[in-house]
Structures are given as structure tokens and as C-alpha cells.
Structure 1
């Protein structure tokens, strides 16, 4: 698929949408600019890339949590009159992340990425070591989004059970585990630590 018109895409899951776009766009000429905060130097890099001539359509994907005002202002003319065969895709979490002058130059799409749901298929209140090993083995090749969903579901089911009580530091372990997922830590390491934590917290008085 070739996207022919520049646009802004709003989503709650930036990385998931980026993966989706990269998989959908049938073009080897795709350049990505990914940063937490889009600054003036990033805008200059985007501008420089846009003026590198290509015969085919080149998609320039810009993804950031925050877009600085001065960086957006520096792109106004470029977005209004893009070079031939250049398509911009700006990704953010809110329409308000973009200046009205930017929004007026591009179409806006809302992409509601549905959170991945997983069926753990393990009884956290009765699991023994052999079941824990099987669970870890089953998800040893889990990708980021699936692993993130597993961590969240482990916490949800533990709390809803009413018989698994975590102290504050143990609850922090789940937050740290989500951070480790983003750092590409092995799924076996993350899941083993959490299952052992749950195992020892069972039946503990709150």
C-alpha cells in the first residue's frame, strides 16, 4: 500500500501504530524519525530528508510524545508545499499535540488500537513449579505487545483473586517488568520473576 496524502494520526499506542504502518506501506523508501520530544534539530533532519530526491513515493514517518512549538513552526512551509513524491505521516497521542496551523494543512485520523488480550490458562492460586515452567516455555517467544499484556493480566488476575496480596515493593515489580519489556529483556526472565513473586504471595494476609 502507498499512502498518497500526508496526514496526522492520533493513537494511544504509538509503537503499535508505527509497526502497523511499516507493515502496511509497500515502499522501501520509508524513513522514520522517532523521539520522545520532537525538537528543532529533528525538524531540520526531517527537512533535509524530504529534499533528497527519489523517483518513487517516499513516506516520512515522524513519531513523538511531545512536539515542540518551534519545531512545528519550522515545518509549516514544508508541509504546505512538500517536495514531489514526499508523504508525511505525523503520529501523536492527541490532536492538541499539534499546532492549529499544522492541523489545518493535513488530514487527521484517529487510530484506536485495541489492547491485546491474553488467556493465561494457568491457575495462579494452585500452580506448582512444573506448571510455572510450562507457562514460561509457552511464552518464551512472546513479542513485546503480547508480553506486556501477559504482565498486565498476571497483575489483574492476582488482585482479583482476593487471595494474593502484594506489598508495595512487589507491586512495583510489575511496573518494573513493563519497563523491562520495553528494553527487550528476555520473556523467561520477566515471567519467572513474576510467577515466583505470585507463588510466594499466595495466602499471605493483607
Structure 2
């Protein structure tokens, strides 16, 4: 599956199904699953402990989550770079942006091509005003990390494909910066305001 013998990263929307398929394909070799909603530092420590349990044959550790915290990823860096003998890592998440560049640099990455379904959001970006902006932000200020990322991607899809807006470099960079800030646990309300203000300012300049 992966070019790198140490394992790899799989970007997929079907983590549970794919992990079972991988486990079945590797029998009778052993697989150990670490499937979480949010992969945290304590989960990373559990993985490291399992990796250092000696094995006569290859053992594959499958780590799947909707989001991986930065401390958890940093804790895994060394063992991903120099895994113990007979240990292979497979990391899974729905989005490539989940993983830090330092993690992605250590493992080969495979991205499944599946059609993402983007539901229209409850505001129109081309007619955005302050009232609509703050109402929308208030409705979405308590999202989990993976939900926050998904909303940013929905907004970008809506702007490009549904409303067909000619986005400026500032607006495009705003989406990219938002995903990075969410990964760094920035306050989502502030991140969302930052993204939407780019559209509000553009409207005002056009008047």
C-alpha cells in the first residue's frame, strides 16, 4: 500500500472500514488499532509503549482519528523516524491538513479519491453583511476541531463552486491560514470571523 517500508499515512473518509480491511489483508500478522475521535498525547504514549513491545514478526500499529493534537504528533515524531524492529505505522485521518508537515515528511502519503459531499452553508458570501456574519459565527462557536475544519472547507467550496466567486489571494490565504490556526487550537470564533471578514471587506470595496 505504501512506498515506505515504515508504513504511511492514509487520507480517507472511511477509517473504520479501511482499518478492518488492512487488518484482514495482513493476517496472520498482528495489527493493533488505536481509533479515536481526537488523538491526544496520552494516546501517543500508549502507541509508543505498544511499539516497544518486542515482536518476532511484523506488527502494524493503525492510528486513526478525525484530529490529531500537535503535542501528540510531536511525541510520535522520533518513533516514526526510527521505528523499533518489525514495527510498521499506518496513520489515518479524513484530511491531509490534520497532520503536521514534520509528520508527513516521515511517511509516504496516500489519498483516497472519494467524492466529498458539501452541504450549502446558511449564508451567502457574496451578500455578506455584519449582521449575517455575527449571526453565523454565534451559531458555530462551539465546534470540535474536525467539525471546525469541515466548516471552513464547506465555506471554501461554497465560495468557489456554488457561488462561483472570483476569490482574491487574500481570501484564498484566509482559508489556508484558518485550517492551520484550527490545528494549533486557536479560538474558532476568531478564526471564523477572520475568514468571513475577508468577504465583507471585498463587498464594501465594490460599492
Change (3 A) 1:44 1:195: closer
In the superposition, relative to structure 1, how do residues 111 and 192 fare at CA in structure 2: closer, same or farther (>3 Å)?
A: same
Contact 2:8 2:89 in 1 (8 A): yes
**CA distance in 2 between partners of 1:204 and 1:75 (Å):** 60
Instruction: Measure the CA separation in 1 of the matches of 2:119 and 2:45.
Output: 31
Normalised to the residue count of structure 1, the TM-score between the two structures is 0.51
Residues in 1 aligned to 2:112 and 2:159: alpha-carbon distance in whole angstroms: 31
- The residue aligned with 1:155 is 156
The answer for unaligned runs of 5 or more in structure 1 is 1-7, 24-29, 35-41, 52-59, 80-88, 99-109
After TM superposition, the runs of 4+ consecutive aligned structure 1 residues lying more than 3 A away are 42-46, 60-68, 110-119, 202-205
Partner in structure 1 of residue 11 of structure 2: 12
Taking a change above 3 Å as real, the CA distance of residues 165 and 200 of structure 1, as seen in their structure-2 partners, is farther
Structure 1 residue 169: Cα displacement: 3.3
Relative to structure 1, is the Cα distance of residues 183 and 114 closer, same or farther in structure 2, using a 3 angstrom cutoff? farther
- 2:180 matched to which residue of 1? 179
Partner of 1:32: 44
Deviation at 1:156, TM superposition (A): 2.2
Q: Distance in 1 between matches of 2:119 and 2:167?
A: 22
Matching of residues 180-199 of structure 1 within 5 Å: 180-199=181-200
Q: Residue 201 and residue 165 in structure 1: after superposition, are their counterparts in 2 closer, same or farther (change >3 A)?
A: farther
Q: Give the TM-score normalised by structure 2.
A: 0.51
**2:91 is matched with which residue?**
92
Cα shift at 1:9: 8.7
Mapped contact 1:10–1:111 kept (Cα < 8 A): no
The answer to whether the 8 A contact 1:180-1:190 is kept is yes
What is the distance in 2 between the residues matched to 1:11 and 1:113?
13
Show CA shifts across 1:32-82 (max 9, x none). Answer: 259xxxxxxx979941xx37xxxxxxxx766768943xx24x322xx5xxx
Gaps of 5+ in 2: 1-6, 17-33, 55-60, 64-72, 93-103
RMSD of aligned residue pairs (Cα, Å): 4.6
Give matches, 1:101-112, under 5 Å: none
Q: Distance in 2 between matches of 1:122 and 1:151?
A: 13
Q: CA deviation at 1:204?
A: 6.5
Determine the C-alpha separation between the residues in 1 that align with 2:127 and 2:118. 22
Would the alpha carbon gap of residues 75 and 43 (structure 1) be closer, same or farther in structure 2, given more than 3 Å must change? Answer: farther
> What is residue 5 of structure 1 aligned with on the other side?
none
Q: 1:141 to 1:31 in 2, by over 3 A?
A: closer
Distance in 2 separating the partners of 1:131 and 1:200: 14
- The structure with the largest alpha-carbon Rg is 1
